[in-house]
Amino acid sequence: MSGKVNFKALTGWQCQRTSVKVYVDLENACGGSLAVRENQESIRQMVLRLRDQHTALVTCSVGPMAIESCPSLPWDWGFGRFIQGRGIDGADLALIGAIQNEPFQENIDSVILVSGDHIFADAIKQLEEFGISTTVISLRDALSNQLKKVASHIQYLPENQTLVFPRRTS
């Protein structure tokens, strides 16, 4: 994605407390769209802990196959913004669009991305250049080298996470 992140100017009242934004590529975190139904609960619990610990605002994205296999996803993830993408890389592109159009304000000091997909590297790099600390949380074998190079911090999901389908490596 070649566009720059659109950091809108802060207007109006602002909270003095720093906060975190969490972006979840649910299909990547679960090991693929077919594994979302079986694996989303453990990812959801981790994201809820992050949200509570960091006063985080959460955005989650998936594609139509994940919704089809697990129709309750929008309700299960009702604590945050839930977006759906369509087509090849549709969920990823929808999440990148959310990141790029987000009004990053002075009270947002950190972004957490739950994905290892290389498609997010440019958006994370742009956040870093803007002075926003980034943490990428990913399955160890799903983390791209591009994303690993640009993020401030890397954390790995536990390998013993209750993932039903093993992650395919390319």
Per-range mean pLDDT, top range of 13-27, 37-51, 153-167 = 37-51
Q: What is the pLDDT of residues 112-139, one digit of tens each?
A: 999 999 999 999 999 998 888 999 999 8
Q: Is residue 101 predicted with pLDDT exceeding 90?
A: no
pLDDT for 107 equals 65
Strands 133-138 and 57-62: unpaired
pLDDT for 22 equals 94
Q: What is the pLDDT of residues 22-65, one digit of tens each?
A: 999 999 999 888 889 999 999 999 999 988 888 888 999 999 99
Q: Is residue 14 predicted with pLDDT exceeding 80?
A: no
Please give the share of the chain, as a percent, with pLDDT higher than 70. Answer: 80
CB atoms under 10 Å from CB of 168, counted, come to 9
Strands 81-84 and 108-114: unpaired
Q: What is the largest CA-CA distance in the chain?
A: 48
Domains detected in the chain: 19-156 (3.40.50.1010)
